[in-house]
Structure 1
């Protein structure tokens, strides 16, 4: 996504001012279904299983000035019930934008999908620094562009399945993009099981981006559903 109006995570172009920077960003201030949220209460519901159908793809990686983003529009789909969503891209935030019981994890991956109606579904994979490195992030870490610029194409394959936890239990709620224009109508899926990365992998990303997170937003009258 290219932004007409500059925004950032700090100062006079930071989250507190996003809605003032452009009319297109008005929802960042007035929206009632904004993301990220702190998940403190959820309602157990009979939610459909998540069916990930990803295949390996050549790496297209970009430093867009806000995060490290990987183009993944050839990687496959996610099915939620009868609804199929094509994976478009994924990117990182550190720490995680979403919180569970007031706690954020070290990092998060946001896997952004879209169905044929144009509706977005974002899957959040929470990352924690621990003993085990992640093999896909190992590949990305060595090739992360150090400065903002155009997407770089590499003759190396990545398998996005390696980014997913074994357990696919999840929380789901109606939300928004977490960056301007903060568009609503986004289906959010937050996987409960965290994925381990190594302290070195965390440091590699944080050398480029840390605190690239939006503050937590009011839940208002939304319900958070839990798959178990």
Structure 2
């Protein structure tokens, strides 16, 4: 009996510890450092764990990979409020991953929230992160694709109807349950805006136990803005709730990047930037062309004027050269003219004298 009791105690102790390890998968007191147990082995021995710090100085552009979400509005959603989790399940939306000229379709499993953000960009955490979890089954394997949307606090009073209609502000703290909502979530309008944004992409894992490493991650490059009232919907549950993880939030600690490469997929803002850049380059080229053309015209015109001046000067010089008579020749000619005049005068005088003599006779 004693041996049986000891075995029972040992078994009971093991079950308590094991159940504690399993339950620890949803506890954020140590932000995932205490997610133990054989089912969570990837959390500690994995080579491509999430979340990570996105160091933009090591990011490469990838124009061949993109994700497009085809969202549908959600009518009468069920909001699951559990420890460390606020989740909305839906199967009416899907997304397409385009890579290497091949498209793969994923179905939306759920979307949920973390405050503060799980991913960091250049060491900076954001106020909120929304995970849109898509999945596809291939054989015996389930593959995930998560579109992470970062939010940053703003002083503007714009509201997202998607967040308002979740009615999170009416939840009672630690009253974990599933709540039915008789509203429509504008998931279509909200996610359509995200489609046009550039995103960081890398291979990773789930950020909750069991940390499965079969996830393709896309995290928005530019955060969306959220006002203080809507942000408080989430922070009051976790980050500002001293009864939950000492008020430190429901985000897993950052994981090492190791040998993985982070890419940046293009977005509509990149296309706008490219088009604007091309237009500016064309305008600059036209301006430079006009300036160069004007300079060529001025130089050519000045050369023409210089040529005409030289030609005119040459003509004048040539004219002077043709009309110029050396001084000696000019004097000789002058004496010759005087000699002819004197000779003619002498003849005239002789003629007059002869006529006078004849008249006297």
TM-score by length of 1: 0.90
Deviation at 1:142, TM superposition (A): 4.4
- Answer yes or no: is 1:91 the counterpart of 2:109: no
Alignment of 1:67-146 (within 5 A): 67-74=85-92, 76-81=93-98, 82-117=103-138, 118-130=142-154, 131=156, 132-142=158-168, 145-146=171-172
Deviates more, 1:182-191 or 1:146-155: 146-155
Deviations 1:147-202 (A, max 9, x none): 34332222211121343345321111110011111110111011112222210111
CA distance in 2, matches of 1:135, 1:66: 23
CA distance in 2, matches of 1:83, 1:142: 34
On the 8 A contact 1:39/1:102 being kept in 2, the answer is yes
On the 8 A contact 1:141/1:201 being kept in 2, the answer is no
**Change in 2 beyond 3 A, CA 1:163/1:46:** same
**Change in 2 beyond 3 A, CA 1:148/1:163:** farther
* Structure 2 partner of 1:55: 72
Deviations 1:78-117 (A, max 9, x none): 1111011100101000111001111111000000000232
CA distance in 2, matches of 1:144, 1:10: 25
On the 8 A contact 1:36/1:217 being kept in 2, the answer is yes
Bigger share in helix: 2
- Choose the corresponding residue for 1:189, options 209, 212, 218: 218
CA distance in 1, matches of 2:116, 2:153: 11
Paired residue total:
221
**Change in 2 beyond 3 A, CA 1:95/1:163:** farther
Deviations 1:193-212 (A, max 9, x none): 22222101111211112211
CA distance in 1, matches of 2:125, 2:64: 24
On the 8 A contact 2:161/2:186 being kept in 1, the answer is no
CA distance in 2, matches of 1:140, 1:162: 15
* Structure 2 partner of 1:169: 198
CA distance in 1, matches of 2:152, 2:251: 16
CA distance in 2, matches of 1:71, 1:106: 23
On the 8 A contact 1:135/1:162 being kept in 2, the answer is no
**Change in 2 beyond 3 A, CA 1:177/1:150:** same
> Does the residue aligned with 1:116 lie in a helix, a strand or coil?
strand
**Change in 2 beyond 3 A, CA 1:144/1:110:** farther
- Answer yes or no: is 1:32 the counterpart of 2:47: yes
On the 8 A contact 1:86/1:113 being kept in 2, the answer is yes
Unmatched runs of 5 consecutive residues or more in structure 1: none
Instruction: Indicate the structure (1 or 2) with the bigger Cα radius of gyration.
Output: 2
On the 8 A contact 2:169/2:233 being kept in 1, the answer is no
**Change in 2 beyond 3 A, CA 1:176/1:148:** farther
